[in-house]
Structure 1
Amino acid sequence: MYCVIKNDMKFGEYFIKGGTKARVINKPNYKEANIPGLDLYLAINLSDIALQQKESVLESEIRIKNELEERCHSNTEMVGITLITDGTKVLMDAGADFYEEATIYDSQVKRVLEIENIPEKIKKAQYLNRPYYLRSIIEYLDNEFAQWVQDNCEFYVYTEEDIKNGDCWADAEPGDTTLSDKGIEQFKNKKIEYQKMLEKIGFTYDFKGGLVWE
């Protein structure tokens, strides 16, 4: 599973920008997020790290060759680093299989949705202290987002000429639709709003908005 670094981090000359994705390489000891007791080991690619606090680096600076091998024939390279941190420093991927049966408190649901009365559509877990399934919250938000996309985003309708020129996805037919350039911007901006809702309780999720992404 992956997680997202919340805020900028700096270790000597290594600078990790907030928002960077990292791979969780240990099995978390809790199915909760945003808590100090959640011990995490994270792997981050050097290509995702800006050295010396630069926004970007040259490819030649990213891969660090083994200096004990011949300088021009090094087949061994360092391509990433490992961090040890806790749940307060990252946003956990709510879509990971690890969280399939995870549950959260009703107060957390209210915080995410900013409402007092929780919709009946959100599935409850029986006989648990945390009565709501996290995955049910995700589905509720993504369905709501999908409806917003259909009502508000600009779409482009493929023509026969688009199909002939290959300016479409595989197996597309005339009349099929896709987001226009404006629609993509509308989608991205709204997606950030939904992600921020979930971030309130320490999770992130790649909302699809009812669309198929290849």
Structure 2
Amino acid sequence: MPPSSRRCRPPRPWPCSTSTPRRSASASCAGWPRPAPTRSRHWRASLASIRSASLALSVPLEDGAGFRRYLRAASTPHLAEPVASPAVSAAVPALERCDEEDEAVSCALRFRAALREAFERELAGLFGDLAARVVARELRLAPADLEAIARAVLEHRGEGEPLALRAAPEDGERLRELVREHGLALVFDECMHPGDVMLELRCGALESTLATRLDGVLACRGAA
């Protein structure tokens, strides 16, 4: 290379041993520009600040006391109860009054049903007493056809074999001919009332007392 070219080239600056200026660096390195911050340096600085903050605000956890204080300090704040709107506040008493009215109506309906049931029960007993008195009066004026009643019992015996006919001692003479006709034994029962007839079968008995006949009439009236 010719000497002229060497003289024209500017001298090349010689950098220091480090890229950043130091205290021990020479005066020639003081004017070297600071390098641009990189991402790794930024994260190192952030981690250093976080570490220093955690050390400054450390919570003692000996025996759990400090940790409990920390939990109380960091607990969730109490949420305020929702405030009802004026329309809802006005509707609540109305709903309560409706519930009270419904309960009162239900109580009245239940009382009415119980009263009606008791009235029907007492009325049925009253009808029974009146019917018994009327029938007793009619029987005193005109005795019942006891032979016809006994024949009706014999017709309803089904396939049962009749053995004896039980009646009150006062009705013995009125049933002798019927007993002789069917070959039955006539048994007098002092516990039976005049007009009562009971047919004893081999597998049971059929009775036609005044009470049973009266109950049948009242049952037919109630069903109608």
TM-score range relative to shorter protein: under 0.3
TM-score (norm 1): 0.19
Larger strand percent:
1
Larger radius of gyration: 2
Q: Which has the higher contact order (CA 8 A, sep 6+)?
A: 1
Larger helix percent:
2
